[in-house]
Chains A and B, each alone.
Chain A
């Protein structure tokens, strides 16, 4: 079932390794139940401003539930926290393709010749619903998630984003 968040909302400033770190910490802390956001921030020595985007990223990927200022790991989240390095990538990939923006970008790329698109063009596309600043940030996170999940590849020299071979053949892309 696709996420209800649509492409109007930018991706939060949450890098993969921060999300993973968060899940590991939550795995420890939530052994006895939920954790309150404020306490989590203190434990991680992070200000709320820094913690919230990461939480939001984890939530978007359905690794955590956030309710009334308390955080809880989902089953997938706990699985992710305890998985080994390679398993993590697979789990992440499964969750990432459920995010609407990711699916839309994959579909967009699939329709391009060579499944490739320049950064400038993708930014233009993003800017139809996001501000310039948010578009740029979303792009960076998209690349980070995409690379980790091995869905996307990015060549910084030619500024080109492309679909990896594996994902161009996947059902997911072709569904969009």
Chain B
């Protein structure tokens, strides 16, 4: 597993952030206004619980995910490349990315859906909305990772490309893309895992009194839950698991094994990752011939066409890059002025709109925020409590890690949202059951991010450091305090950031549930969002969404990134 230490980003709120926040406000408002114009009823196909329909539903869900992924990959390669290679663009593009990744996806759901449905024919509109939604859950970490790869290419590799006069195309194809491949593969896996989570929620929902549904496994499961059909529920889950395992074996394992050739490590690892499917494919002579007849000549032609153009200047590498937000440098450009005017206008409109919200409703929002905050805190605490010891135990034992990681990955991919109806079934009888269920769902949805990152951190602990600690006989608490924690800290923080976002996201599906014909909800921001979009109270929806965004961004900046910077100073990371 490619372990690269995550790099620190800006710690506090800057000018660019404010600008982006205002922009976000404006966009949300525009979406909501569009939503007012959406048709009164969008009838979807009826979902049958017949098991024979499962393969078809599975395929539809898979296609949706694949389309979203293709979109994400394209976005990543373009956005990441431009941001990495163009200093000026970078100054805007990064803050935008930063904030967007903190926005809870499910709170965008209503806006996106309604906007798209207003523009496109009904069925297509909803389908596109689902794809866009999945896209937003997949793309940010991929883009960040790609950008980070590009700016940390070893300096001499870039210089060599310059010496031999490789132009942008040859450099991209032969240096930059290969270098970023391992990171892209791992991030793609994580993105798919996250995507499944939201797919389940995106395929069937109620919005402003209207029903939306798409044929797929997610809506199958939801329908089964709604009707209280346990056997259908379990069948659907089984189908989902089969799909995920199949993907793992036929796509991800081979991809990881193949990507090992891009590993920069100079010593061949004792046990490089293997995939039976990849081995199987590589023995196929037909495939080799096909490759030789199509990909290779295509590559040659492209190289001859584009690659022989004169080379531009050599890009510089910034291995310890700290992203600075010197936004003011761009203000001079006319385009930004125009953009600023538009954004401010939109934001002003949005604020006027929201000011129509009654004071006690704002109080409700705040109270709900506090409730969800507590739930998130509990979920994260539990996640940390078990993920930390287990993650360290797995990560420090490389053999164990290589065996268990595949299992962990599959487990992580199975979306908690699909399991949720079952969990709910069990807990509804207990007083406060929904609260517990909500925390549990948050936990299930986010603990994997934490676990992964901790394992990555533990695996990255240099061997000799470990031996030294062992030979010095440092044990127990001391070992943890002085050795393990400092080493895995950056990974821990990254994991916490992702987990925090994930938990808040999950609250939208966890705090408001439609089950067996009844609505179950508890006090919480997620419930507010889900509820207000279902009943069409758009002011409340907007207010709750913005509150959530603000909280997540603030927590990320003021807590996690501060901790990271502190750890950097104390523990001399890097």
* Chain A residues packing against B (C-beta within 8 Å): 136, 157-158
Contact = CB atoms under 8 A, between A and B. Distances in A.
B48 interface: no
Q: How large is the interface on B (under 10, 10 to 19, 20 to 34, 35 or more residues)?
A: under 10
Nearest to B270: A136
A158 B261 CA distance: 12
Nearest to B274: A159
A163 to B, nearest CB: 20
Contacts of A158: 282
Interface in B267-284: 270, 282
A158 B270 CA distance: 17
A158 B282 CA distance: 7
Interface of chain A, helix or strand or loop or mixed?
Answer: loop
A160 to B, nearest CB: 11
4 contacts: A136-B270, A157-B261, A157-B282, A158-B282
Nearest to A159: B279
A136 B270 CA distance: 9
Contacts of B261: 157
A136 B261 CA distance: 19
B178 to A, nearest CB: 15
Contacts of A157: 261, 282
Interface string B267-304: 00010000000000010000000000000000000000
Interface string B246-263: 000000000000000100
Contacts of B270: 136
A147 to B, nearest CB: 15
Contacts of B282: 157-158
Interface of B: 261, 270, 282
A2 to B, nearest CB: 32
A108 B261 CA distance: 29
B281 to A, nearest CB: 12
A124 B489 CA distance: 42
A143 B270 CA distance: 16
A136 B268 CA distance: 11
Nearest to B261: A157
A35 B548 CA distance: 77
A80 to B, nearest CB: 28
A157 B279 CA distance: 10
Contacts of A136: 270
Q: Name the 4 nearest CB pairs between A and B, nearest first.
A: A158-B282, A157-B282, A157-B261, A136-B270
A71 B113 CA distance: 81
A161 B345 CA distance: 69
Nearest to A136: B270
B258 to A, nearest CB: 10
B502 to A, nearest CB: 38
A145 B325 CA distance: 55
A56 B261 CA distance: 33
B257 to A, nearest CB: 11
B121 to A, nearest CB: 48
A65 B261 CA distance: 41
A97 B261 CA distance: 32
A158 B258 CA distance: 11
B35 to A, nearest CB: 53
A154 to B, nearest CB: 12
A114 to B, nearest CB: 13
A15 to B, nearest CB: 13
B362 to A, nearest CB: 63
A10 B282 CA distance: 31
A158 B257 CA distance: 12
B279 to A, nearest CB: 9
A157 B270 CA distance: 16
Nearest to B283: A158
A131 to B, nearest CB: 14
A147 B520 CA distance: 70
A161 to B, nearest CB: 15
Nearest to A156: B261
B544 to A, nearest CB: 54
Nearest to B282: A158
A161 B270 CA distance: 18
A157 B278 CA distance: 11
A136 B282 CA distance: 23
Nearest to A158: B282
A29 B270 CA distance: 38
A157 B257 CA distance: 11
A46 B406 CA distance: 42
A126 to B, nearest CB: 16
A158 B274 CA distance: 12
A134 to B, nearest CB: 14
B165 to A, nearest CB: 28
B399 to A, nearest CB: 13
A31 to B, nearest CB: 36
